[in-house]
Structure 1
Amino acid sequence: FVLFVIRAFLNGLGLTYIGMIAAFVVTFSNIFLNWVLIYGNLGFQAYGVDGAAMASSLAGFIGMVVISLFLLKREVLNYLKSSGKFFDWEVLKEIFYLGFPPGVDGVLTNLAFLIFTKFAGMISTTALAASSIVFSIMTISFMPGFAFGIAATTLVGQALGAGKIRLAYQGTFRAASYSAFLMGFVGLVFIIFGKEIISLFSTDPIIICETYPALFVVSLIQVGDAYHMVVGSALRSTGLVYWVMVVYIFVSFFVMLPLGYYLGVHLKYGTVGLWSSVFVWILSMSVAFVWKFRKKEWVSIRI
């Protein structure tokens, strides 16, 4: 928790590279400690699954220590000195106001995808395995969207603070276009080499045939996914956190889930029918977020 809080604070200051360093430290520490604690290397006892849990906890602690050291950087200390009181109720209320909606939509969106996974299990065990593979593969694609979303959040926050509305607007769409290029390219790779990539997870021809059409469908909408992730992050940064929350909840529970059940379970289109609802989910949110951002209602919001 402390690691994520400090990382978000440093991102707000524009020091996003520090979060990357901490992520590298956590990842490589986790790999090393897994090797030591799971298998009992370097004289340690082999703890198995318990060792994996201990390794993850220790790696997170190491990452927290490393990122905390960067709080001693001159620009961070200068900001802390100029920010006034260490504890301020007004600031705390503002943090809650801005942080509560993303927390709610995050929890409910994850719940929606748990129900989505339940639908996959209702279709067949093959569909459940196929959906799990699609989820795993797509994590590669949305990483650029996540990264450029952080960039857009930082850029918009700093630009609005400086009164540079044009920079906030143009910077957001530039970040979204860069993300769209990268995610679109990854989507194209998935379309061309999808079956080969799926075979890394399963060599069962039935699972490959079940998985590829679904992967193909979501690969087609990766450009839209880029705009959904980046522009959505920018909207949150402008203060429209409750509007974004409502869109996520509505599209997840009243568009994606009913459509996924209808196509995948009721009409028996299987995995590809189920994942077609994700295509519509991404498309709906990307259109809604771009439309809202282009209206520039956020210009008059004061945070």
Structure 2
Amino acid sequence: MFETKTKAEKFRMLIKIVFPILVTQVAMYLVTFFDIYMTARYSTEDLAGVSIGSSFWVPVYIGLAGILMSITPIVAQLMGAKKKEEVKDAVQQGIYLAVILALIVFIFFFFSIEPLLSLINLEPAVASVAKNYIFAMSFGLVPLFVYNALRCYIDALGSTRISMFISLLSAPINVFFNYLLIYGNFGFPELGGVGAGYGSAITYWFVMLIAVWIIHTRKPFKSFNIFRGWAKLSFIRLREISLIGVPIGIAIFAETSIFSAVTLMMSTYGTITIAAHQIAINFTSLLYMLPLSISMGATILVGFEVGAKRFNDARQYSWISVAAAVGFSFVSAFILFSMRHQIAGLYTSDPAVIQLAVQFLIFAALFQLSDAVQAPVQGALRGYKDVNITFVMALISYWVIGLPVGYLLSTFTGFEAFGYWIGLIAGLTAGAITLSFRLNVIQKKIAAH
């Protein structure tokens, strides 16, 4: 990364940083995407089970992994301030934290998943797939969390193409092991949806080992000696990472968990509704990788400029990121609306599931604009290390506005399951408005000083 002078240069720099992140995010998401897609081709019951399992897995994993995202602004600001010698310690402590978080999640799932599933009115076959899918995925927790820490370090140095290369390898590895373990090919056991969990866990180990090898042997990472001379576990450094990371994690958890909560609450409508809802969410989440990637790019670029005390450049990067995401949101909405029948047909041949999924995809098209605003705004705020007020706003938007609106509409009106999607639109819109206001306030305060 380097200093840019004009808005055109900034836009080119944003694209340079974001494109590899986008490919990386899509590649990493394809692990979950192919779990859902390949399971959908296996059976509707297994699809429902994996959907329920993912609804527990994704928010817990993403929320805690979000804590590790603080490594990106910390390292970016250290590099902007030319404090290269402090990067090694920050990353090593981040790896320690990754292992601790992975163990916490493993213990949580081991003791709580059966009691949690018993609270939901699920068919026995669906509940069994959900439980075993989560247990299978748990074998990949440590490498998944460690890779997240390493990736944040790689991206903070502006080497997002390396993350792209590593993540591109994950999709074919995952598809290969899913092919073996879901369908029982080449003499492997036929495990259905549970096989998708084991396939993902194996993939995470491969991806982490590749990242370790690159960081240890290739420039510019080799010069930092990340895996040599390990420092002792420092609670002071862990506290610094956590003070920034925990609010980030809570904000991400608040956003992702509302989608999972909606999936779980829709379980009362039956297996077909769960399957149709998951198809719509799965494809929409794939499109969300674009604003999410712009958000991560904004964190890197804003953090770099703030570290160098070029606050006007940081402000310009913030709003260029928002403008870019909004522009692309219209393309996403068009794809969802105009190709909704084809999208649903990719996942299943069940006419009842397709008919319902097509209707859900219309609602998905409607919240593309809100997603496109709130994601890069959150990314910019993380670049400023402004995370505490942000997570409060996220909690209010999604859980005080979004989910209650969805519950009221589904319970007391004729919208039924569609009421939850209207609630999602309301929550995401509220988040976009409040977070934009917060970013503007932060930038005005900096300008005033």
Match status 1:215 vs 2:361: yes
Name the structure 1 match of 2:190: 48
Distance 1:60 1:210, change over 3 A: closer
How many corresponding residue pairs? 296
Q: Distance in 2 between matches of 1:254 and 1:96?
A: 25
3-state SS, counterpart of residue 269 of structure 1: coil
Tell me, yes or no, if structure 1 residue 118 matches structure 2 residue 259.
no
2:218 is equivalent to residue 76 of structure 1: no
Amino acid in the other structure paired with 1:177? A
Aligned AA (2:190):
G
Q: Which residue of 2 aligns with 1:182?
A: 328
Asked if 1:161 corresponds to 2:307, the answer is: yes
Residues 53 and 296 from structure 1, CA distance in 2 versus in 1: closer, same or farther, beyond 3 angstroms? Answer: closer
Q: Aligned equivalents of 1:117 and 1:168: distance in 2?
A: 38
Contact 2:170 2:203 in 1 (8 A): yes
Q: Distance in 2 between matches of 1:37 and 1:204?
A: 23
Cα 1:47/1:85, change in 2 over 3 Å: closer
Per-residue CA deviation, residues 69-101 of structure 1 (Å, 9 max, x unaligned), is 2324332244569xx995655433210111112
Q: CA deviation at 1:51?
A: 5.6
The structure-2 alpha-carbon separation of the partners of 1:102 and 1:110, relative to structure 1 and needing over 3 Å to count, comes to same
Aligned partners of 1:199, 1:27: CA distance in 2, in Å?
A: 22
Which stretches in structure 1 are left out of the alignment for 5+ residues? none
Moved more, 237-246 or 3-12: 237-246
Q: 1:196 is matched by which residue type in structure 2? A: Q
Establish whether residue 63 from structure 1 lines up as the match of residue 191 from structure 2: no
Deviations 1:206-239 (A, max 9, x none): 4444333432223123122111111112212212
Which amino acid is 2:364 matched to? V
Q: Verify the 8 A CA contact 2:266 2:273 in the aligned structure 1.
A: yes
Q: Which residue of 1 aligns with 2:316?
A: 170
CA contact (8 A) 1:228 1:289 kept: yes
Q: Give 1:147's aligned residue.
A: 293
Code of the residue aligned with 2:405 in structure 1: it is L
| Matched residue type, 1:295 | V
Specify whether residues 185 and 161 from structure 1 end up closer, same or farther in structure 2 by C-alpha distance, changes over 3 A only: same
**Paired amino acid for 1:148:** I
CA separation in 2, counterparts of 1:123 and 1:115?
A: 14
**Contact 1:29 / 1:59 at 8 angstroms: preserved in 2?**
yes
For the 8 Å contact 1:214–1:276, the answer to whether it is kept is no
Structure 2 distance, partners of 1:202, 1:28, is: 22
Q: Which moved more, 1:167-176 or 1:1-10?
A: 167-176
The answer to whether 1:255 aligns with 2:397 is no
Shifted more, 29-38 versus 259-268: the winner is 29-38
2:297·2:379 contact (CA, 8 Å) conserved in 1? no
Is 1:277 matched up with 2:423? yes
Q: Deviations over 1:180-231 (max 9, x none)?
A: 2223202111111212322333445544443334322231231221111111
Code of the residue aligned with 1:74 in structure 2: it is: K
Partners of 1:130 and 1:271 within 8 A in 2: no
- Alpha-carbon deviation of 1:113? 3.0
Checking the alignment, whether the CA contact within 8 Å between 2:303 and 2:384 is kept in structure 1 is yes
The change in CA–CA distance for 1:289 and 1:105 in structure 2 (over 3 A counts) is closer
Distance 1:66 1:134 in 2: 33
* Maintained 8 Å contact 1:157/1:237: yes
TM-score normalised by the chain length of structure 2 = 0.60
Q: State the match for 1:136 in structure 2.
A: 282
Q: TM-score, normalised by structure 1?
A: 0.86
Q: CA RMSD in A?
A: 2.8
Letter in 2 for 1:46: F
- Residue 389 of structure 2 corresponds to 243
SS in 2 for 1:199: helix
Q: Report deviation, 1:299.
A: 6.0
Question: 1:105-143 CA distances to partner (integer Å, 9 max, x unpaired)?
Answer: 334444433332233233455443332222122122201
